[in-house]
Structure 1
Amino acid sequence: MIAYGYTFMEVKNVSKPAIFLDRDGVLIEDFGYVHRIEDVKLFPDVAEGLKALRAEGFRLLVVTNQSGVARGYFEIDAVHRCHDEIDRQLQAHDVTIDSYFICPHHPKGNTAPWNVTCSCRKPKPGLLEQANKEFGTVMDKSFIIGDKASDIECGRAAGIRGIQIDRGQYPKDEKAFGLVTSFAEAVEIILTAT
């Protein structure tokens, strides 16, 4: 299996474009290997931005590398608990994520069965391919929002446009469709482009 996804809304029967969202550094603050629910802190502009994207008909799909599982820092259940907390916080703003696709692998990890080379770890496009297979996404109208060049490369490999949020932590991908400093700016670029 290349990804672990779980779906909160049953919307699979209609093809739609999607916004593929990295998790740490895009939706929530990146403290490094976030795995405790008390560390799940949404950026202030995320809920309203997601609502605007949902209103335009986009699916909201999280695609996240969680190599802390392979490295033995935390169990896969901790990842799911964090996603439940993200959903709880977003539901307070009347918006939900459609599904989460997780890559728990890392080839240099020390925890089997996760310590393998896989096809889902970004920048490889496996998570996006899995999401497309599950949802029938309209890829040429979809976007990925990430904070790392690997997120943008992943989108490019899957044939979708990437917007990088520069939070000052990672190198920029100059080939990104957009380079911004906030989630709200990323949403504005998407809404202007569609």
Structure 2
Amino acid sequence: MAKVAIFLDRDGVINQDTGYVSQVDDFHFIDGAIEALQLLKKKGYCLVVVTNQSGIARGYFTEDQFMQLTEWMDWSLADREVDLDGIYYCPHHPEASVEAYRQQCDCRKPAPGMLLDAAKHLKLDMAASYLVGDKLSDIQAAMAAGVGHPTLVKSGQSLDESALGRAEAVYEDLLAFAKAIPALGD
């Protein structure tokens, strides 16, 4: 049986988007984000992080540094009874300064590659799933991947009319979203 997921952008949804976050000291969970993730798990959802990380392609930090931070985030959440079901990231950028990452890919949002990979690996019901992002490219990726509920939060980027017009719903932050959606089976 297919599972229902909450796809989560990282910067601006889970943690404060201070620009190319790559160090533990710079990673700050948004107020209420951990509580939101705990609630979403209790409601029966798979939690899948999908994050563009062009800082790797731009040479601001290495893929190893990103992986170390991701491992720290994952353990920090696990210590608070939040087990992520998947973490997918795109290190590419078409104008990368690091040649190995300079490419047009199918994983960099707004392309749907990360979401489609997760759907395949985790056997997800995309039409019943949600994506929570903070910008237009998140919504575009959700729509291209067939995610039924593309959602925005105001805790990250400032939202423009094109993003607002395409989202199914807009919430103040991840906690407001988590409180509003039904538990699976309700």
Decide: shared fold, TM above 0.5: yes
Structure 1 CA distance, aligned partners of 2:98 and 2:156? 31
Mapped to 2, the partners of 1:96 and 1:31 lie a distance apart of 25
Query: Which position in structure 1 is the counterpart of 2:120?
Result: 133
Letter in 1 for 2:180: I
Runs of 4+ in 1 over 2 A off after TM superposition: 167-172, 188-194
Report if the CA contact (8 A) 1:15-1:137 is conserved.
yes
Give 5+ residue unaligned stretches, structure 2: none
Structure 1 residue 15: Cα displacement: 2.8
Please name the residue that 2:142 is paired with: 155
Counterpart code for 2:171: V
Q: Paired residue for 1:86, among 73, 77, 80?
A: 73
* Distance in structure 1 (CA, Å) of the matches to 2:144 and 2:137: 10
Shift of 1:139: 0.8
| TM-score for both structures, normalised by structure 1 | 0.87
Report the alpha carbon displacement of residue 44 of structure 1 after superposing the two structures with TM.
2.1
Q: Which residue of structure 1 lines up, in the alignment, with residue 42 of structure 2? A: 55
Question: Which digits, 9 at most, give the CA deviation of each residue in 1:87-108, with x for residues without a partner?
Answer: 2321332112121101000000
Closer, same or farther in 2 for the Cα pair 1:63/1:147, shift >3 Å? same
Higher helix residue share: 2
Post-superposition offset of 1:48: 1.5
SS of match in other structure, 2:58? coil
Cα-Cα RMSD: 1.7
Matches within 5 A, 1:62-101: 62-101=49-88
Secondary structure of 1:129 counterpart: helix
Q: Give 1:74 shift.
A: 0.8
8 Å CA contact 2:131–2:139 kept in 1: the answer is yes
1:87-145 CA distance string (max 9 Å, x none): 23213321121211010000000112211110111011111011111111111110000
What is the CA distance between 1:188 and its match in structure 2? Answer: 2.7
Partner Cα separation in structure 1 for residue 52 and residue 156 of structure 2: 19
Give the Å deviation of 1:192.
Answer: 7.5
**Paired position in structure 1 for 2:99:** 112
CA contact (8 A) 1:107 1:115 kept: yes
Q: Does 1:20 align with 2:7?
A: yes
Q: Does 1:164 align with 2:152?
A: yes
Aligned residues: 181
**Cα distance in 2 for residues equivalent to 1:132 and 1:16:** 9
Instruction: Indicate the SS of the match to 1:139.
Output: coil
For 1:120, the aligned partner's letter is: C
Q: Distance in 2 between matches of 1:169 and 1:24?
A: 9
Counterpart for residue 4 of structure 1: none
Q: Distance in 1 between matches of 2:68 and 2:86?
A: 14
Q: Which runs of 5+ in 1 are unaligned?
A: 1-13
Q: CA contact under 8 A between 2:12 and 2:156: conserved in structure 1?
A: no
- Distance of 1:168 and 1:29 partners within structure 2: 7
Output the TM-score relative to the length of structure 2.
Answer: 0.91
Separation (CA, whole Å) in 2 of partners of 1:80 and 1:168: 22
Tell me how far apart the structure 2 counterparts of residues 50 and 83 of structure 1 sit (CA, whole Å). Answer: 16
Task: Decide which moves more: 40-49 or 89-98.
Answer: 89-98
